[in-house]
Amino acid sequence: MKVVVLFRLLFWVGFSSTVFSQSRLDSFLRPADSLNTSRRLGVVVSEATLSTAALVGLHELWYSDYEKSAFQFKDDNNDWFQVDKAGHMYSAYHLGRFSAELFSWAGISKRDQMWYGATYGFAFLTAVEVFDGHSEAWGFSWGDVAANATGTLLYVSQELLWDEQRVVPKFSFHSTRYAAQRPELLGEGFGERLIKDYNGQTYWLSVNLHSFAKESRIPKWLNVALGYGATGMLSATAQSNSPILEHVPVRTRQFYLSLDIDLTRIETQSAFLRTLFSVFNTLKIPAPAFEINGLGQTKWHAIYF
């Protein structure tokens, strides 16, 4: 999900830059001061079209490989040390944020940005969850729905409370040795592993320091990031490890403390750069990090991805 969203927006920005001159591009990307009905129509039609295409494609490319079943529920709250739930929260937050920003670009009121924009991520991911419910291999997960709702509420609550996003979920990834041991489950090749190998995924809450101390001299772009991940996972749970595996690693949670940059707070008059910064603000900047795991062990990373 995170990769599809990022690719779509990068493609749109890159395409726009080839069609418009710099000045025309900036004018096009600048949010409208009042309701622009043609932009609003474009946003609504584009989101509906892309969402339908994404759901149809997902059904054909992913779910068609699994047997269908009567609608069923699945309790997967103990799977993958909940790293997958962090991914749901992250995806719902940024799908909602991007949608709300598109509505803002069209000059739609703040209230409607919250109701129809920020809730887009929750609605889209709930539709995907219904697909899971009709799949023999999966099942509708209330834990996933709760994580989706958490991501949406994180965005909406900050807009209502502070009129800005002071805490932003971010993502980073590094390759691990575990995927090679179970490529059918953890992915073959970097693209699949980016999505499937939870050992290499880290989810962050990046907190902007200046927003909580506006009179201070702290740089407006400086953040402190709290990260969460896990390692040693060759299956969803320890009990489901394949019996053919001879050396089963120790499974443990990982917690991180690091510095980060809020790209959206870098001052610029360019609407193009602000759009680009908004897209890349989904990713944690590589930086030194302190780690403590669930076994009480600590580690210092000179640079952590």
User: Is there a single domain that holds both residue 80 and residue 63?
Assistant: yes
Q: Give helix 189-196 / helix 2-19 axis angle, nearest 10°.
A: 120
Same domain for 35 and 158? Answer: yes
Six-digit token pair at 205? 């809450």
Q: Are both 128 and 208 inside the same structural domain?
A: no
Range of the domain at 71: 31-163
Q: Which pLDDT tens digit goes with each residue over 215-240? A: 999 999 999 999 999 999 999 998 66
State the pLDDT at residue 4: 46
Residue 262 DSSP label? -
Domain match, 41 and 176 both: no
> Which of 163, 196, 227 is the last residue in one of the domains?
163
Residue 256 has pLDDT above 90, yes or no: yes
- Reading the block at residue 90, the tokens are 């992250």
Question: Model's pTM, two decimal places?
Answer: 0.90
The Cα 8–Cα 28 span in angstroms is 18
150: left (phi over 0), alpha (psi -120 to 50) or beta: alpha
Chain segment 19-76, per-residue pLDDT in tens: 456 678 888 889 999 999 999 999 999 999 999 998 888 877 778 777 888 999 999 9
243 vs 188 pLDDT, higher one: 188
For residues 28 and 41, what is the distance between their CA atoms, to the nearest angstrom? 15
How far CA 42 is from CA of 45, 48, 105, 254, in Å, comes to 5, 10, 11, 43
* Domain match, 149 and 199 both: no
Q: Give 300's strand partners.
A: 290
User: In total, how many domains does the chain have?
Assistant: 2
